[in-house]
Chains A and B, each alone.
Chain A
Amino acid sequence: MATLQSLDLRRRSASTEAPPQVRKSPVEVAKLIDVSKCIGCKACQAACLQWNDLVEPVGYFEGSYDNPTDLTPTSWTVMKFTEYEHGDDFEWLIRKQGCMHCDDPGCLKACPAPGAIVQYTNGIVDFVSENCIGCGYCVKGCPFNVPRISKVDRKAYKCTLCSDRVAVGQAPACAKACPTQAIYFGSKEDMLVHAEHRVADLKSRGYKNAGLYDPPGVGGTHVMYVLHHADKPSLYAGLPDDPRISPMVGFWKGLVKPLSLAAIAFAGVFGFLHYISKGPNEVSAEDDKKGDELAGGKQA
């Protein structure tokens, strides 16, 4: 079961019931990842595996520090290393990849299984595995290519933002483990203020395009980055420049659903009305006679 209370639900996949609203003014949380302070030690990856009691199978060396090379059903966060050359300058850009916990989550929008994906009032987007049917629609809904379907149990997995830890007032395991405090955790409000300081500091050091990554296309995210090159997020191992839920997914999960049911209902009602107004189309005795005559057989 989910780790926060049902009182804390803001959204629930494939559900039409209104969420509980008696609890007022929930604090929205956020994780702020300061890419400029990351040293690529992977303590966050190890902490994630350890806290969530997961084991990543031993993989292969692919000629890069990325290990594993991509998110997997067990590795919910992965350091992505990018070598960025511009002019005479060389930079090693290291981004901790994982679920961004969108305020408008594409995975939840796409999910057809009631309650398999929930969003808490604090902004965390969580997969409730017992309700997951393994259809992979969340993968299609996600603008960040985050959910992974396990080949073992065909269920979708991703970062929970340690919703179980957050529920009891703890920071996520990755933030706790980070030795350079490149991962901050707190209220989204505080994280925005902190990000401002960090961006100002980076600008004073010559990173004139430093900025915060909190993409408005998905309503902002509850995992944000401080980037030295915020004008080009895609430098950081393909971080989307302007992520938004694909219009195809929006159409599929938006207009198509009500229009389809309306069309089917219309066809049914039209047929019914036609039948009660025109009556059945029956063969008359005359038709039978004509048919028999044509066939030259005996009369009925």
Chain B
Amino acid sequence: MSSDTNTVSRYTTGARINHWITAVSLILLALSGMALFHPSLFFLTHLFGGGQATRAIHPWIGVVLAISFTGMFFRFFKLNLWKREDTVWIMNPGKVLNGDEEGLPEIGKYNAGQKLVFWGQSILILLLFCSGLVLWDVYFEAYTSIDQKRLSAVVHALCAIGAILIWIVHVYAAIWVKGTLRAMTRGTVTRGWSWKHHRKWLRQEVRQGTGKS
């Protein structure tokens, strides 16, 4: 084990706060949205003060998510641009799932899975925001046709399920890959973790002299 001083800075305080606002709003949206999506989950409305309150609050949490995620997007999109090694990485799901990273190319700050999470959520949250506005009758009822509203309901449900599935992958990866969560709770990761999972990034950090010692 490395001592705490043998760490590499991965996320600034601002990035971590930004991430956790996004995380909390996404979870609240999933709970309130699932409550109105499936009758067997309607009981979740109790968490939000009843059916009417859930219906009223859900879109406002969506606004928080949209703003917060926009911040995340501009913070991280450059680092998530697709590279050649990402294609190699994603073409070897067996090695990825077995944790056989020595058999995969060296990875920068984000691997292909993380990049897919990033772009997947970016697209889905944009679609969720737009379809959500169409469904927000309190303010926008008059601006769309009934068939646009019906289509939005389908798109909203499908995108939400997609976002929840990606969220499960994202959370599971953080549970499975030990030493990951501290990046978002403390802002740092160990050198060993960086070596194992993001060697190219560690090399860059060392070259730039930002890795703490």
Which A residues contact B (CB, under 8 angstroms)? 14-16, 112-114, 131, 133-137, 139-140, 145, 149, 154, 246, 248-249, 251-252, 256-257, 260-261, 263-264, 267-268, 271, 274-275, 278, 280-285, 287-292, 294-298, 300
Smallest CB gap from A297: residue in B: B213
> Which of B62-70, B76-84, B153-161 lies at the interface?
B153-161
- The answer to whether A114 and B39 have CB atoms under 8 Å apart is yes
Contact with A along B155-178 (1 / 0, CB 8 A): 001100100110011001001111
Q: In the complex the two chains form, is A278's CB within 8 Å of B42's CB?
A: no
User: Is the C-beta of B60 less than 8 angstroms from some C-beta in chain A?
Assistant: no
20 A-B residue pairs with CB within 8 Å? A15-B39, A133-B51, A134-B52, A136-B135, A139-B146, A145-B146, A248-B150, A248-B153, A256-B157, A261-B38, A263-B165, A264-B164, A280-B176, A283-B193, A284-B192, A288-B191, A296-B213, A297-B6, A298-B6, A300-B3
* Known pairs A288-B1, A288-B2, A292-B6; A154 contacts B42 (CB<8 A): no
The CA of A280 and the CA of B98, in the complex, are separated in Å by 10
Docked-complex contact B54 and A274, CB < 8 angstroms: no
**Would you call B178 and A280 a contact (CB within 8 A)?**
yes
> CB within 8 A of A267: which of B150, B157, B169?
B169
A132 to chain B, nearest CB (A): 8
Closest chain-B Cβ to A22's Cβ sits at a distance in Å of: 24
Chain B residues, Cβ within 8 Å of A278: 97-99, 176
Closest 10 CB pairs of A and B: A291-B191, A288-B192, A291-B195, A297-B213, A133-B51, A14-B39, A271-B172, A287-B192, A248-B150, A281-B99
Cβ–Cβ < 8 Å partners of B99 in chain A: 278, 281
User: How far does the Cβ of B132 sit from chain A's closest Cβ, in whole Å?
Assistant: 12
Cβ–Cβ < 8 Å partners of A133 in chain B: 36, 45, 50-52, 54-55
Indicate if B37 sits at the interface (CB-CB under 8 A).
yes
Taking a contact as CB atoms under 8 Å apart, the answer to whether A294 and B178 are in contact is no
Contact status A140-B206, CB under 8 Å: no
Contacts A281-B178, A291-B192; A252 near B202 (Cβ below 8 A): no
Q: Which of A260, A280, A283, A287 contacts B161 (CB 8 A)?
A: A260
Q: Of all chain A residues, which has the CB nearest B41?
A: A261
Cβ contact within 8 Å between B36 and A291: no
B137 pairs with A149, CB closer than 8 A: yes
Q: Which residue of A lies closest to B199 (CB)?
A: A294
Choice from B54, B146, B176, B213 contacting A275 with Cβ under 8 Å: B176
Which B residues lie within 8 Å of A295 (CB)?
Answer: 6, 8, 191, 202, 206, 211, 213
